[in-house]
Amino acid sequence: MQAEDPFEILATLQRLPPVRKYIIALSGGLDSVALIHSLSQLQDQLPQSLLAVHIHHGLMADADLWTRQCESFCQKFKIPLEIVKVTVDRHGKSLEAAARQARYAALQKYVQADTALLTAHHQDDQAETILLHLIKGAGSAGLAGMPVSKPFGRGWHFRPLLSVSRKILREYVLQQKLSFIEDPSNLDTQHERNYLRHKIIPELKTRWPEAVSGMARSAQHQSDNLRLSKDLAEQDLKQIAEPDGALFIPRLKTLTEQRQKNCLRYWLRYLGGEDINPTANQLDSLMEELIDSSWDAEPELLLGKKIIHRYRDRLYQLPRQESFINEKEYEWLLNQPFKIPALGIYLEPWSLLAQHQNLSEKDKLVVRFRRGGEKIYSPEKKQHRQLKKLLQEWGVPPWRRSQIPLLYLGEELLIVWGYVSINQTNS
């Protein structure tokens, strides 16, 4: 006989991306105990293996007791358990935020490409999240609350209990006579979330009993709107984005202001290699200082760990980094590729040899980077031309100019990799 599934976890998980293993975040509190117990009863119906992970923050006097409680539980229900001790480094953050960061950093190490982290966030947690975001003036992304699934580490983060209330979870734990830990810090109403949990939401539910489930439905509506906005941004970016990821500003400005902002938000959040969620004020600054600036102004704006540059008619996002200065010289024997992994440089010799009949696999080139004052011979002009002027003519953004490999044969600059060579100028 199949075990009961009171939270419909199987149906929820079957709608999510397929994985081979579930990592269950087990604090020992009521919510995570309800989640892991229900999963333990469904193991015969789950093709995925289970692993519980308990994070020992070392912040509470009873932290060791919590660990023993988790060990006892997992031993009883035959679920493997890993105990991970972390150091919580505040560095200007609240203790709650620092502990959360340390916890997820530790959990992420267990999440591989075929793995999903399961956490016991529930409907009441969702309501608290939505209210916090609403109070702080969030847009659709914030009011959509926590998603049921999202990429995490190399795999996924699933929240299969988001449609289940705290009341139902408590009833389940008491009915099953399960032991759980009451974290005393959850009673401290100095924390924003605890204040909502103990002061505000009970009052709302007294007046509107369906307030929490209603907020969950609103979050789903916002999530649907967010998906539509994302789809629209993807369509717009097909017309606006350049092959190198830059945005072509004249085409961007053919859109309405709302679609421009939607496009920029998506470009920053999903296409820059780092999740940047700009505020309304930051988007306004981006529009005013970069999009609406003059063609030759070359302004820039700092956003998180990125620098947003405008160069001529294009908008670029780049990681913050020190100015690139490389005064080294490298020898390249043309019978093999040339690589500088730390700089992301990989040059193949075969196309080079095909273009330059006077070169062979036995030749050796010198690879340098810009130092200033370089010149390359132009057969068209029948004279040497300054590389600086050529880079400007080619529209190469200033921050990229020092990163272009320059190939010398002897002391003669032969090739500006990716742009021009003496032979190419002849053609």
Least-confidence region, from 54-58, 189-193, 204-208, 398-402? 398-402
Question: Can you give the pLDDT at residue 7?
Answer: 93
pLDDT at 323 over 80: no
Give the lowest-confidence range in 153-157, 349-353, 421-425: 421-425
Q: Supply the pLDDT for residue 424.
A: 44
- Other beta carbons within 10 angstroms of residue 412's beta carbon come to 12
What local confidence, expressed as pLDDT, does residue 60 receive?
79
Q: What is the pLDDT of residues 409-418, one digit of tens each?
A: 888 898 898 8
How confident is the model over 140-145, as a mean pLDDT?
90
What are the residues facing 345 on neighbouring strands?
340
Question: Measuring CA to CA, how many Å separate 96 from each of 193, 263, 391?
Answer: 10, 34, 50
Q: Which CATH number fits the domain 241-318, given the four candidates 1.20.59.20, 1.10.1740.10, 1.10.260.40, 2.40.10.10?
A: 1.20.59.20
Number of other residues whose CB lies within 10 A of the CB of residue 25: 23
The confidence score (pLDDT) of residue 346 equals: 84
Say if domain 9-219 classifies as CATH 3.40.50.620: yes
**Banded model confidence at residue 426, pLDDT cuts 50, 70, 90:** very low
Res. 357 pLDDT band, cuts 50 70 90: confident
The answer to whether residue 321 scores a pLDDT higher than 70 is no
How much is the average pLDDT of 352-362? 84
Residue 272 has a pLDDT of 65
Q: What share of the chain is helix, strand, coil (3-state, %, to 5)?
A: 40, 20, 40
Whether residue 23 has pLDDT greater than 80: yes
Identify the pLDDT of residue 418: 82
User: Given this model, what pLDDT does residue 4 score?
Assistant: 81
Taking 90 as the threshold, does the pLDDT of residue 305 lie above it?
no
Higher pLDDT, 184 or 37: 37
User: pTM here?
Assistant: 0.74
pLDDT at 97 over 70: yes
Arithmetic mean of pLDDT over the chain: 89
Given a contact cutoff of 8 angstroms between Cβ atoms, the answer to whether 147 and 189 are in contact is no
Asked if the domains 9-219 and 241-318 are classified in one and the same CATH topology, the answer is no
Whether 145 and 50 have beta carbons less than 8 Å apart is answered as: no
The mean per-residue pLDDT over the stretch 172-192 comes to 90
Averaged pLDDT, 246-260: 95
Q: Is the pLDDT of residue 34 over 50?
A: yes
Domain ranges within the chain, ordered by starting residue: 9-219, 241-318, 330-421
SS (H, E, C) 155-215: EEEECCCCCCCHHHHHHHHHHCCCCCECCHHHHCCCCHHHHHHHHHHHHHHHHCCCHHHHH
DSSP 3-state of 411: coil
Measuring CA to CA, which residue among 98, 94, 107 is closest to residue 27? 107
Region 131-135 average pLDDT:
94
Between residues 343 and 186, which one has the greater pLDDT? 186
Reading across the β-sheet that carries 406-409, which strands appear in turn? 330-333, 364-368, 406-409, 412-416, 420-421
